[in-house]
Amino acid sequence: MEGKVYTGDDYKTKFNPRDYLKTYYAFDSGTVAENEILKFLLNNLFETFSPGGVGGDILIDVGTGPTIYQLLSACEAFREIIVSDYSDLNLREVDKWLKKEPGAYDWSPAVQYVCELEGDRSKWQEKEARLQRTVTRLLTCDVNQPRPLGSAQVPAVDCVLTLLALECACRDVDAYRAAIRSLVGLLKPGGHLVTSVALHLQNYMVGPSKFSGLPLEKETVEKALQEAGCQVLKSQYRPINYSEAYCINEGHYFVVARKGPGA
């Protein structure tokens, strides 16, 4: 229906992974705004997961979508990565890349970019193979539930990663705060939550379908983390927006927080 804004369960039927990837992750062949945002995220993730930074045994990515770019630096810092998403179609898209199936999305430009940050662009195929080995499980998640991973048995983890997900999944600020609390609950004491938010998000396009967003501010993100028992260790804001034809937002905010002992 023209003008309809999708949300909630619509992600299972109306969210086309390939349309999303072509719009926001075409990298150097894509639009300037989308490329700048992706590089902002890749640079921050590289710094976060570099030697001496955030690392450990297990990282879980919540709201993975159909993407793997967010795991390219993390796979050097963790023994095991678990990915999770609300949409089975998104998980299937990720699985195709992990298994190197025909028709899998080509992430090589992003992989080469991260390898260049690490010092050797030529090692991109080794990087892909490492990530494909490190991802061990693909789970269904719902951040609007008190147990976001449902009945899946997952030990307390060293890091929860969630990028550009909660502001799409949560209907209001109270739901966002509850989701942050649930994700912090997945962490070991002293574990890290790494998140990035498209601030003031109103809506975004996936092919012909418009999806709603939750307009968050920097202060709202920080307060939610602090109320959940986390200390903000690092934050970076950049006033970069998506192309207006695709998405209405104002700025991006990347945050690294650590769970306190009593949380």
Annotated binding-site residues read 20, 25, 69, 85, 90, 142-143
Q: Measured between alpha carbons, how far is residue 130 from residues 4, 194, 229 in Å? A: 41, 21, 33
Q: CA 207 to CA 187: how far, in whole Å?
A: 35
Q: Specify binding-site residues for S-adenosyl-L-methionine.
A: 20, 25, 69, 85, 90, 142-143
Is the Cβ–Cβ distance between 214 and 199 less than 8 Å?
no
Element (H, E) at 198: strand 187-198
Angstrom distance (rounded) from CA 121 to CA 81: 23
151, with CB counted inside 10 A (0-12, 13-18, 19+), is exposed
> Residue 259: enclosing H or E segment and its boundaries?
strand 252-259
Edge-first strand listing for the sheet containing 56-62:
135-140, 78-85, 56-62, 157-163, 187-198, 252-259, 230-238
